[in-house]
Amino acid sequence: MIWKDYKAEIQEIKLPKIADLNVKLSILREDLIHSEISGNKYRKLKYNLIEAEKLGFKKLLTFGGAFSNHIAATAAAGKLYGFETIGIIRGEELENKINENVTLRFAKQYGMQLYFISREEYRTKHELSFLEQLKSKFPNAYIVPEGGTNDLAIKGCKEILYNECFNYDYLGSAIGTCGTITGLIESSADHQTILGFPSLKGDFITKDIQELTSKNNFTIFNDYHFGGYGKVNEELINFINDFKHLNRIQLDPIYTGKMLFGIADLIKKNYFKNNSSILLVHTGGLQGIEGMNNFLRKKNKNIIE
């Protein structure tokens, strides 16, 4: 199994409606390292699949929702590296709508077996009794957690940074299951502060990160989730489109769009000292845009360009 070592390109960026930045702002193009196992999903899956192969597993089993980047990436990685893949999907109502859903259709086309469970049952996915049931139903399957986050995922995410990345005062990341930001915290230099922008509503993120790392050089901003996971509004969509026009870089509405919006707001509020340098990690997630646009069209809302 050959996993390439990538050093993602660093690109300077501008922000919509901010003519004169008082900081040096750049983005780390992790979204470009692989066309289908994009960004942080490549990093998270790398050592999990190496471990699965080492232990002799031929199947991967994981979890996700209707638009999960992780489900899509696991299906693609399984096909590329010769694993059968099984996806436990949140929401029984989706079972008859696979072909209407971009992410699920992609996963199925790449050979993933999809099993749909109720949202109530899905909430028990971390419980031992539920995991034992899965092991009985799907024997000889290597289980990857929802979002891919575990110690092996963090090990992969620690490889995101390289020498040029340590020249920045701040590193920024969107947050889902905390694996990516934990890897950045673990591998960051002593002088750097990690800025985290959760896509989930709630104040539990700091505690979750503290359970994964002993370092404390990070700050979490809980004001830019736009109502919670998968929630967007017209202001965010317009920002994503304006950013693309200005920089020729596509952002996604679940993670990176919210992170950049947060950074722009902090800069407007003079959070950073003059001439501070900030490197933002583009974690990919672009496969979900088509599904979000389908949702927005049904609501007669502006779409992501």
Note the pLDDT of residue 19: 85
Q: How far apart are CA 135 and CA 172, in angstroms?
A: 37
pLDDT of 20 over the 90 cut: no
Q: Is the pLDDT of residue 2 over 90?
A: no
pLDDT at 38 exceeding the cut of 90: no
Give, in degrees to the nearest 5, the angle at Cα 185 between 42 and 29: 40
Identify the pLDDT of residue 206. 96
Cβ neighbour number for residue 84 with a 10 Å cutoff: 17
Q: Are residues 124 and 269 in the same domain?
A: no
3-state secondary structure the chain: CCCCCCCCCEEECCCCCCCCCCCEEEEECHHHCCCCCCCHHHHHHHHHHHHHHHCCCCEEEEEECCCCHHHHHHHHHHHHHCCEEEEEEECHHHHHHHHHCHHHHHHHHCCCEEEEECHHHHCCCCCHHHHHHHHHHCCCEEECCHHHCCHHHHHHHCCCCCHHHHHCCEEEEEECCCHHHHHHHHHCCCCCEEEEEECCCCCCHHHHHHCCCCCCCEEECCCCCCCCCCCCCHHHHHHHHHHHHHHCCCCCCCCHHHHHHHHHHHHHCCCCCCCCEEEEECCCCHHHHHHHHHHHHHCCCCCCC
Counting the structural domains of the chain, the total is 2
In terms of residue numbers, what domain contains 182? 10-36+157-298
144 and 255 in a single domain? The answer is: no
Give tens-digit pLDDT for 63-83.
999 999 999 999 999 999 999
202 Rama sector, left if φ>0, alpha if ψ -120 to 50, beta otherwise: left
24 pLDDT more than 90:
yes
Q: Which of 118, 148, 178 is the last residue of a domain?
A: 148
Q: What count of other Cβ atoms lies within 10 Å of the Cβ of residue 304?
A: 22
Tokens 């509004």, residue?
233
Does residue 281 have a pLDDT over 90? yes
Looking at 148, 175, 203, the residue that finishes a domain is: 148
| pLDDT attached to residue 141 | 97
Co-location of 190 and 265 in the same domain: yes
Residue 2 included in any domain: no
Determine if the pTM surpasses 0.85: yes
Q: What percent of the chain has pLDDT over 70?
A: 100
Query: Which CATH number fits the domain that encloses residue 128?
Result: 3.40.50.1100
Per-residue pLDDT, 115: 97
Res. 137: pLDDT tops 90: yes
Give me the percent of the chain exceeding a pLDDT of 90: 97
Residue 28 has pLDDT above 90, yes or no: yes
User: Residue 193: pLDDT above 90?
Assistant: yes
